[in-house]
Amino acid sequence: MSAAPPRVVSLVPSLTEAVAVTVPGALVGATDWCSHPAGLDVTRVGGTKNPDVPRILALAPDLVIANEEENRAPDLAALRAAGLPVLVTEVRDLDQAFRELTRVLAACGARRPRWLEEAEAAWWDPHRPDIRPRAAIPIWRRPWMVLGRATFAGDLLARMGVDNAYAGHAERYPRVPLEELRAADLDLVVLPDEPYRFTRDDGPEAFPARTAVALVSGRHLTWYGPSLAEAPAVLGAALRAAAPPGL
């Protein structure tokens, strides 16, 4: 008879999906932003930036999984002070994402899942474009913020053949005035639908008509979990539909 899975609370949407599909029954709590898998029926414990610590404690989890970027250090310290084990991930590129997913799932008592192998295979040799467009990748508006250096999403786009114009910026998520973005001589602007929900009617109109705009799935660009297996195809299709010839 196999042992019962540990009781897990996830404070990261990506990891929530990864654990839910790999270790059924392990999750007892997740944030309000944990939208996948569809129909996830667990206790909601607030947001990633403002989790309800007393509610998490009441669930008596064996493990809390978090991320150093998505979650606040004081909240994680409060959970640890109450005696809960907290596993904190760090994800700055795709290779690190695969390592951290392996670590998290092992801590949840899972063997290496098929979807993780499929994701690694999908990214082994993604489409290599003939032309690498120079792009900005806004993630917020009012104020405008873009991907800068050492980001997971930036690494995915680089592997897809997109050169981030702000990859050398001192900050990971710099605020860049719209006037500067418009004057940056960009070939492409990549607009994901999260964390800010850019749409056809909210975002593209801000940029010169000569600049191509790709509206992409934020889940496939920013989540590290089962969606990684289909991300190269989903992102590639969106980029090729919008970008200069050759991508």
pTM of the model: 0.90
In this predicted structure, the answer to whether residue 245 has a pLDDT above a threshold of 60 is no
Angle in degrees, CA 67, 70, 75, rounded to 5: 80
pLDDT the model gives residue 115? 95
pLDDT the model gives residue 1? 36
The average confidence (pLDDT) of the chain is: 92
Give 83-107 pLDDT, tens digit per residue: 999 999 999 999 999 999 999 999 9
Domains of the chain: 8-112 (3.40.50.1980), 134-242 (3.40.50.1980)
pLDDT the model gives residue 128? 64
- Give the separation between CA 155 and CA 190, rounded to whole angstroms: 14
Mean predicted confidence (pLDDT) in 70-79 = 95
Give 139-196 pLDDT, tens digit per residue: 999 999 999 999 999 999 999 999 999 999 999 999 999 999 999 989 999 999 999 9
pLDDT the model gives residue 126? 62
pLDDT the model gives residue 132? 86
pLDDT the model gives residue 2? 57
In this predicted structure, the answer to whether residue 204 has a pLDDT above a threshold of 70 is yes
Instruction: Quote the longest CA-to-CA distance of the chain.
Output: 64
Classify strands 145-146 and 138-140 as parallel, antiparallel or unpaired.
Answer: antiparallel
